[in-house]
Amino acid sequence: MAWSWSNAERGGAARRAAVALVAAAASLASGCVQMYLKKDPLPTEPPPAPSALQRTTGSLWRDDVSANYLFADVKARFAGDLLTIVITEDAAGSKAAETSTSTESEVFANLEQFFGFPQALQENNPSIDPQQLLKASTARTFDGEGSTNRKGRLTARMTAVVKAVSPTGNLWVQGDKIVAVNKEDQHIVVQGWVRPEDIDSQNQVLSTRLADARIDYYGVGTLGVKQSPGWGYWLLDVVWPF
In a domain, 27, yes or no: no
Q: Are 85 and 119 in the same domain?
A: no
Q: Are 229 and 122 in the same domain?
A: no
Q: Are 100 and 193 in the same domain?
A: no
0.75 exceeded by the pTM? no
Confidence of residue 69 (pLDDT cuts 50, 70, 90): low
Number of domains in the chain: 2
Confidence of residue 35 (pLDDT cuts 50, 70, 90): very low
| Distance of alpha carbon 166 from alpha carbon 161, whole angstroms | 15
> In this model, does residue 128 exceed pLDDT 60?
yes
Q: Are 174 and 204 in the same domain?
A: yes
Q: Span 169-193, mean pLDDT?
A: 91
Confidence of residue 201 (pLDDT cuts 50, 70, 90): confident
Q: Indicate the DSSP class of residue 115.
A: T
Q: Are 76 and 115 in the same domain?
A: no
In a domain, 117, yes or no: yes
Average pLDDT of the chain, as a whole number: 76
Tell me: the pLDDT tens digits for 110-124?
777 777 777 777 777
Tell me: the pLDDT tens digits for 70-107?
655 678 888 889 999 999 998 888 989 999 888 888 87
Indicate the residue among 130, 147, 164 that finishes a domain: 147
Confidence of residue 189 (pLDDT cuts 50, 70, 90): very high
Structural domain range at position 73: 62-93+153-239
Which of residues 50 and 75 earns the better pLDDT score?
75
> In this model, does residue 230 exceed pLDDT 50?
yes
Q: Are 217 and 135 in the same domain?
A: no
| Distance of alpha carbon 146 from alpha carbon 160, whole angstroms | 42
> In this model, does residue 15 exceed pLDDT 80?
no
Which of residues 33 and 185 earns the better pLDDT score?
185
In a domain, 55, yes or no: no
Q: Are 204 and 180 in the same domain?
A: yes
Which pLDDT value is given to residue 183?
A: 81
Q: Are 138 and 183 in the same domain?
A: no
> To the nearest whole percent, how much of the chain has pLDDT over 90?
21
Give the distance from CA 109 to its chain's centroid: 59
| Distance of alpha carbon 180 from alpha carbon 154, whole angstroms | 19
Q: Are 215 and 175 in the same domain?
A: yes
**Angle (nearest 5°) at CA 46 between 45 and 51:** 140
Q: Checking DSSP bridges between strand 82-109 and strand 211-220, what pairing results, if any?
A: unpaired
CB of 203 closer than 8 Å to CB of 85: no
CB of 190 closer than 8 Å to CB of 174: yes
In a domain, 4, yes or no: no
